[in-house]
Structure 1
Amino acid sequence: MVAADWPEVEAIYRAGIATGRATFEPAPPRDWATFDASRRADLRLVAAGADGTVLAWAAASAVSSREVYRGVVEHSIYVHPDAAGTGVGSRLLAAFVELTEARGVWTVQSAVIAGNTASLRLHERAGFRVVGRRERIARMTTGPLAGTWCDTILIERRSAVVGADDPEATT
C-alpha cells in the first residue's frame, strides 16, 4: 500500500464504517499522512483487480512501544463491498499473515465487533482463534447500530514460524 492507493483505501474504509460492523471509528483518517502515521509501513497491503483497482486492504499497528511486544500487532482488513464473497479477503489475509511472519511478528490480533460474522469466519479460516469477548465495550456512533452498545470478539493468530524455536515462547 502506497500513498497513491489512499483514495481507494479510504473509500473501502468508508464503506466498512457505513455497515456499522467494521469499526467504532466514525470516519476514516482525514488524509494519507494521518493513516500512514498510524500504521506500520512494512505491514500494509492492498489486493488489486486485473485493472489495478483496489479491492481490499490490510494494515497493522504496533500494540505497544515496549520492546517485549515488538512482535505483536493489531490489524485491520477491509474488502470493497463489490468484492465480498470473491475470495479476495482470504487471499489478502493469507498474504498479510505471510508478510507479518517475514517481519518477525509472532502474534496478530484484532477486536472484531460482535455480529461481524463474515470477518470472524474469514479469520477462523486463516488460523485465528477467539481468545475473549469484551461486553458492551463501546457505543456505536454511526451506521445502523448508532446508539447501541456493542461487544467485541478478541481474536489472535500465533505464528507457528516466528518464535517456534524458543522453548519459553509458550510459558
Structure 2
Amino acid sequence: MTDEHAGAVLDIYRHGIATGDATFETEPPTWTRFTATRPPAHRWVALDDVGVLGWVACTPVSDRCVYAGVVEHSVYVHPDARGRGVGRLLLQRLINSTEQAGIWTIQSGIFPENTASLALHHACGFRTVGTRERLGRHHGRWRDVVLVERRSPTLS
C-alpha cells in the first residue's frame, strides 16, 4: 500500500463505514493520519486490472515493549469484490508479514452483526476470545464487539 492507493483505500473504508457494521468510525481519517498510525511493512492492497479491491493494515496495540508482538488489524473489501476471496488473500498476506517480523498475535474487534467478517477470520485461523458487551455507542446505540485473535503457531 502506497500513497498512490490513498484515494481507493479511503473510498473502500468509506463504503465499510456506510454499512454501519464495520467500525465505530463515522468518517475515514485523512491519508496522513491513516499512514501515520499503520506501519508500512504491514499494509497491503489487493489489486486487479481495474484498481484496488481491498486493503488490510494493522497498528501496534501499545508502545510498551511487552506488547511489541501484538497488533490490531482491519481488513476491508470493496463491495463489488466481496465473495471473491480478496479478504482471505489480504489476511494471509498480513499473517505472513507479521510472522516474518516476529509478531505473535494479531487481533481485531468485530461487531457481532458482521457475520461475514467473523466467518472470514475464523477461516483464517482466528479464534473468538469473547464478546465485549456494550463497549461503545455508535449512532446512538450501544454496540457489542467480538474480540478475535490469531496466535502464531511458530512464535507463541
Provide the TM-score with structure 1 as the length reference. Answer: 0.89
> Aligned-pair RMSD on alpha carbons?
0.9
- Of the three residues 133, 136, 150, the one matched with 1:157 is 150
Residue 125 of structure 2 is aligned to residue 118 of structure 1: no
How far off its partner does 1:83 sit? 0.4
The count of aligned residue pairs is: 156
SS in 2 for 1:42: helix
Q: Deviations over 1:82-124 (max 9, x none)?
A: 0010111111111111111011110000110111000000000
1:127-152 Cα offsets, whole Å, 9 max, x none, are: 000001111111113xxxxx221100
CA–CA separation in structure 2 for the residues paired with 1:40 and 1:52: 26
List runs of 5+ in structure 2 lacking aligned partners.
none
Identical amino acids, percent of aligned pairs: 53
> Which residue does 1:6 correspond to in 2?
6
Q: Which residue in the other structure is 1:86 paired with?
A: 84
Q: Deviations over 1:46-76 (max 9, x none)?
A: 0001x15000100000001011110000000
**Which letter does structure 2 place at the counterpart of 1:21?**
D
Query: For structure 1, which runs of at least 5 residues remain unmatched after alignment?
Result: 142-146, 164-171
Letter in 2 for 1:14: R
Q: Which stretches of structure 1, 4 residues or more, deviate above 6 A after TM superposition?
A: none
Higher Cα Rg: structure 1 or 2? 1
1:168 corresponding residue in structure 2? none
SS at match of 1:154: strand
Instruction: Write the distance in 2 (CA, Å) between the matches of 1:76 and 1:16.
Output: 11
Amino acid at match of 1:36: T
Asked whether 1:40 is paired with 2:56, we answer no
What TM-score, normalized by structure 2, do the two folds share? 0.97
Q: Distance in 1 between matches of 2:25 and 2:47?
A: 25
- What's the counterpart of residue 134 of structure 1? 132
